[in-house]
Structure 1
Amino acid sequence: MEGKIVELIISELDLFLIDKIRELRGRAQPYISQVELSQRMGFADGYVGKVENFSSNTKYNLRKLHLAAKALNLDSYQSILPDKILSNDLLYLKIEVNRKRNDTVDFDKNNQVIKNYKIVEMRVLNEAEIKDFNNRRKTK
């Protein structure tokens, strides 16, 4: 997957949640792999891997956030959710996946997560594009 370019439309909140749960997996003691989190949530081994793979349309929903919070032994949903309402709805992203193994979570010298992707291009979808996106999803 190293260097693979992926283009996608994703909600800003979905992107935040994917990054946040990945970070929480990496900070857990002991470390929680994608497979282990999937199993703790009661899903197939590959579920979290699909969510964290930008080539897949699989995303967390409210129930799955609840199961992830329990599986990560969190005290509050506030540990997963953003502190404030995010500014944007849907984003167009062109990303370069820069990790061979999506499952590992590493941290830099400032203890910040090293993301497994780099945003090459990002723009917020306008109202017409959001309407087209919503209508396209209804017809599939």
Structure 2
Amino acid sequence: MKENEKIIRVVSALDLYVTKKIRERRELLKIGQSALSVDMGFSDKLVGNIENPSLPAKYNIRQINLAAEALKCNVKDFLPPKGFFKDDLVRITVEKIWEKDNDGINKKIPVITKTEPLTEEEILEYNRKRQKT
């Protein structure tokens, strides 16, 4: 991602929520991205790639289970309290902005600056494009 570039992607609202909840738990326990990745049995880049909103990486069900085990909590802690989202797919805008990293150093990092639900028509079109023939 270039410095002033904006990336617009369509993602699952549930994927965003799960990633946010795992990150919150990880940060609460003061566990780094690399450490959690390794604790889950993967390369040290997995969690960092998933938490980077400009990349398409996301947790799968197995990884959510492994994250819950590593973070000493329940899988349901990472799921929405209602059990579902009304807005299944959302459009996110990702931009690089100045933020302090975990070491307190100011860096430009990719951050979601806008989230909006897709219309029913957009969801139908999205699903049609991904339907196997």
Q: Does TM-score exceed 0.5, indicating one fold?
A: yes
- Structure 2 contact 8–93 (Cα < 8 Å) conserved: yes
CA-based RMSD: 2.6
2:78 corresponding residue in structure 1: 80
TM-score (normalizing by structure 1):
0.75
- Structure 2 contact 36–70 (Cα < 8 Å) conserved: yes
1:117 corresponding residue in structure 2: 111
The amino acid that maps onto 1:77 is V
TM-score (normalizing by structure 2):
0.78
Unpaired stretches in structure 2, ≥5 consecutive residues: 105-109
Query: In 2, Cα distance between the equivalents of 1:45 and 1:62?
Result: 19
Unpaired stretches in structure 1, ≥5 consecutive residues: 107-115
Higher relative contact order (CA 8 A, sep 6+): 1
Aligned-pair identity in percent equals 36
- Structure 2 contact 37–44 (Cα < 8 Å) conserved: yes
Bigger drift between 123-132 and 41-50 goes to: 123-132
1:10 corresponding residue in structure 2: 11
2:107 corresponding residue in structure 1: none
1:25 corresponding residue in structure 2: 26
1:39 corresponding residue in structure 2: 38
How many residue pairs match? The answer is 125
Query: In 1, Cα distance between the equivalents of 2:94 and 2:18?
Result: 17
Query: In 2, Cα distance between the equivalents of 1:101 and 1:138?
Result: 41
